[in-house]
Chain A
Amino acid sequence: MAQLIRRAAALNKSLPAASFAARGLATASTSSITVETSLPFTGHNIDPPSRSVETSPQELLTFFRDMALMRRMEIAADSLYKAKLIRGFCHLYDGQEAVCVGMEAAINRKDCIITAYRDHCIFLGRGGTLLEAFAELMGRKDGCSKGKGGSMHFYKKEGGFYGGHGIVGAQVPLGCGLAFAQKYSKDESVTFAMYGDGAANQGQLFEALNMAALWDLPAILVCENNHYGMGTAEWRAAKSPAYYKRGDYVPGLKVDGMDALAVKQACKFAKEHALKNGPIILEMDTYRYHGHSMSDPGSTYRTRDEISGVRQERDPIERIRKLVLAHDLATEKELKDTEKEVRKEVDEAIAQAKESPMPDPSELFSNVYAKGLGTESFGADRKEVRTVLP
């Protein structure tokens, strides 16, 4: 029963649950609705797209469900971490769901996404399942990286998701490399290289951006500006926190990252631009409710009022809920039912993940190489544990 909404490669969205079909919206579900984004886009060296976004009831309901699922997954991960079932690092994305969901609505699975360590929801968006996510977090065999990666190293290559990277900023040159390969292979697809406001100051980002601009690579750099690089506010880390302008000769767009439709519009615009003209920067103005990671309470460098203020005024799920209700696409109760369903899905996935065993000890030595050539490898006591890599 573990159904996560899966997007087929051809962006064919199916209606999520029976409750919506009951309203007889099946025929009307793809009808067009035009919504204005919360704010106009601000462009740097480029004319921004219109703030009128075409959407549909189906899309809005899917946004709601997907974001609710992601929110629920992250909250559940918080509890699992406190229960010590998740160890090490755990960086949660709740509050930022609109970025990932809006992006998916604008692209397909041939496009690539690469991000840093706050990657659980992006993994789901690319086709990853809840079971794979929870099992990986708990270090079990059914995890997407078979338990060997952990929270920061989720991958789904067939879905165009290249991780999941622990070194701040490294994913940006890697993303430009993906774009390079897409252009080299003439695939007519683009790469979204995502990074935070903290990583925005990394030198290698500018090195890669320079080459992307020189060679007209279809690279879209997406700064998820949640205003805090761990405990350091953006104004303390960056002389210029206008990250969409930091590309200088590379055009940029500032986007309200809490508005899934604005994100969708920006990503669609960016993809068209990148395919024709090379790199572009998108700055998503977003917010994370949790601290930087599970070891950070998140309240020593910002006030609780600020956090609750954003939750009241700008929460991405609430925005969609209001839109759905305003356009009469579902009732309050139906939306609440969706949230209950989603919670049930998450709980079931967790139960299943808990049943998954830990990797076999022989997995210590697997995948060191793609082609091991029969070389020897050793455990801590090489006289005790010695193996041959296949």
Chain B
Amino acid sequence: MHRAAPRQRQEHNGEQAVPHRYTDGRVSTQRGGCSNSGSITEEGMHKSSPLNPTLKRSSPNGSTLSRFLFWELYREADMLGVLRREVACQGAHAWGLEQGLRVIASRALSSSAKAMTVRDALNSALDEEMSADPKVFVMGEEVGEYQGAYKITKGLLDKYGPERVLDAPITEAGFAGIGVGAAYYGLRPVIEFMTFNFSMQAIDHIINSAAKSNYMSSGQISVPIVFRGPDGAAAGVGAQHSQCYAAWFGACPGLKVLTPYSSEDARGLLKAAIRDPDPVVFLENELLYGESFPVSAEVLDSSFCLPIGKAKIEREGKDVTITAFSKMVGYALQAGDILAKEGISAEVINLRSIRPLDRAAINASVRKTNRLVTVEEGFPQHGVGAEICASVLEDSFEYLDAAVERISGADVPMPYAANLERMAVPQVEDIVRAAKRTCYRSTALAATA
């Protein structure tokens, strides 16, 4: 029987990097030892490279840019007063300006804050967790030699070798199943779906083989696996590549479902997911990968971890609660800024965790503000917002001063034409309008049939 010559097998003894021969003949250089912060850069902006033609920075209303400028200016200033003047000149409406300045004041005494893209946050989290636990491995399409379809796994193959960073063929059902089987045995796989649209090919393994196993076996077979990848709409990729799966996966007992927004979220939640003994669906967002966020020294530490199941109040307010996750958090914050100018103080909750859902935080907020707007990118029917609205109605009915409002993606498959696509995803003005409705401040309502 004829077999092709076996690929060069590498003996690797845990910590040392393994030279890997790429298909084009290059050999990666050996890097001894593991550095925990290898991929964190001071400038924090992800550089374009020939390998990364998909890089784009999204700045819907320029506020991401202004947030970045804000932090750049901070690094220049060494006095709070100077800083305030500089920022005012730029006319920047950085998120929570007063809050931010308070944070800076304390930071000014310690080391300067860094900024980090979500991409680098994910990459560094993977790197650190792989370094800390030899059972962690990564498998997916293009995660190895290609450095990751979205460069999230950049550098990992060179550092950890082909036994721990596996390029899979385009066979989601197969490699998701192999990942779950490896998790049964006790390894800690991180399975990447190039986008979660392709997770539908493997959904039987996610639900029936992974989510339900601990229960069916009464605790004998736990499944410490992470399924991660970009979820939801990108830009112009059409109906089959734009669906958000948070609601579907969020419905399943046995799964944990996480939706990071910022770089801090990305690092903390991915580390928590990899360390968690249960199957975690980790929904990233392609358009957030290139966005940069400030990260404190605590976040940069390799032991940093965020709790699963706890939401974060991104912006405190007292008039209306806006819940959001992933990319919509940014939109909700912008909506909050606009509403503030009109005298409405919005409290923006970054859910971070779809399952378990932080009902306590959401209800506590609604009991304070008496109004709720839920925001999500996915389809409206049976969405995450539906669950949140139901939960609030059940637990905090008497506290509501207005009907709950849901903002979601349109109830259509995603169109390609740019104007239609814009109508199919929530925009900041939609969130603002809904918030105003809860405050009885809207102009004429659209006529209903």
Contact = CB atoms under 8 A, between A and B. Distances in A.
A163 interface: yes
Nearest to B171: A207
Interface string B168-197: 110101111111111111110000000000
B254 interface: yes
Given A165-B209, A211-B169, A376 B359 contact: yes
B209 A112 contact: no
Given A170-B204, A181-B181, A211-B178, A157 B220 contact: yes
A366 interface: yes
Interface string A156-197: 110000111111001011111111111011000000000000
Contact of B174 (A148, A208, A366, A377): A208
B215 A148 contact: yes
Contacts of A46: 1
B422 to A, nearest CB: 37
Given A157-B221, A211-B171, A184 B394 contact: no
| Residue of B182, B217, B278 with highest tally of chain A CB at under 10 A | B217
Interface in B90-147: 137
A255 interface: no
A373 interface: yes
Contacts of A380: none
Contacts of B6: 216
B222 A177 contact: no
B16 interface: no
Interface in A231-256: 251
A185 B187 contact: yes
B39 interface: no
Given A177-B179, A184-B163, A370 B174 contact: no
Interface string B1-14: 10100100000000
A203 B173 CA distance: 9
B276 interface: yes
B185 A369 contact: no
B218 A178 contact: no
B214 A173 contact: no
A354 B277 CA distance: 34
Interface in B302-317: 307-309
A79 interface: no
B309 A182 contact: no
A164 B215 CA distance: 13
B219 A184 contact: no
A173 B174 contact: yes
B208 A167 contact: yes
A373 B219 CA distance: 16
Contacts of A45: 1
A203 to B, nearest CB: 7
B420 interface: no
Contact of A114 (B169, B178, B181, B276): B181
A375 B184 contact: no
Contact of A181 (B187, B209, B308): B187
A181 B216 CA distance: 22
B392 to A, nearest CB: 13
Chain A interface bracket (under 10, 10 to 19, 20 to 34, 35 or more): 35 or more
B172 to A, nearest CB: 8
Interface in A122-168: 145-149, 153, 155-157, 162-167
A148 B181 contact: no
Contacts of A216: 6
B253 interface: yes
B214 A368 contact: yes
Contacts of B278: 369-371
B427 to A, nearest CB: 33
B256 interface: yes
Contact of B214 (A112, A176, A369): A369
Contact of A184 (B137, B180, B216): B137
Contacts of B307: 373
A174 B173 contact: no
| Residue of A164, A216, A367 with highest tally of chain B CB at under 10 A | A367
Contacts of B356: 373, 375-376
Given A203-B173, A207-B171, A176 B181 contact: yes
A170 B209 contact: yes
Contact of B182 (A146, A165, A178): A178
Interface in B233-260: 253-254, 256
Given A174-B177, A376-B359, A149 B184 contact: no
Interface string A348-375: 0000000000000000001111110111
Given A148-B216, A181-B182, A211 B187 contact: no
Contacts of B208: 166-167, 170
B138 to A, nearest CB: 12
Contacts of A165: 209
Given A211-B168, A367-B214, A367-B218, A204 B177 contact: yes
Contacts of B137: 184
Q: Which 3 A-B pairs have the closest CB atoms?
A: A177-B181, A173-B177, A207-B174
27 contacts: A146-B218, A149-B217, A153-B216, A157-B221, A163-B216, A170-B209, A172-B177, A173-B176, A173-B180, A175-B181, A177-B177, A178-B185, A179-B181, A180-B181, A180-B182, A181-B182, A182-B185, A184-B137, A204-B173, A207-B169, A207-B177, A210-B171, A215-B166, A366-B219, A367-B214, A369-B214, A373-B307
Interface of A: 45-46, 112, 114, 145-149, 153, 155-157, 162-167, 170, 172-182, 184-185, 203-204, 206-208, 210-211, 214-216, 251, 277, 366-371, 373-377, 382-383
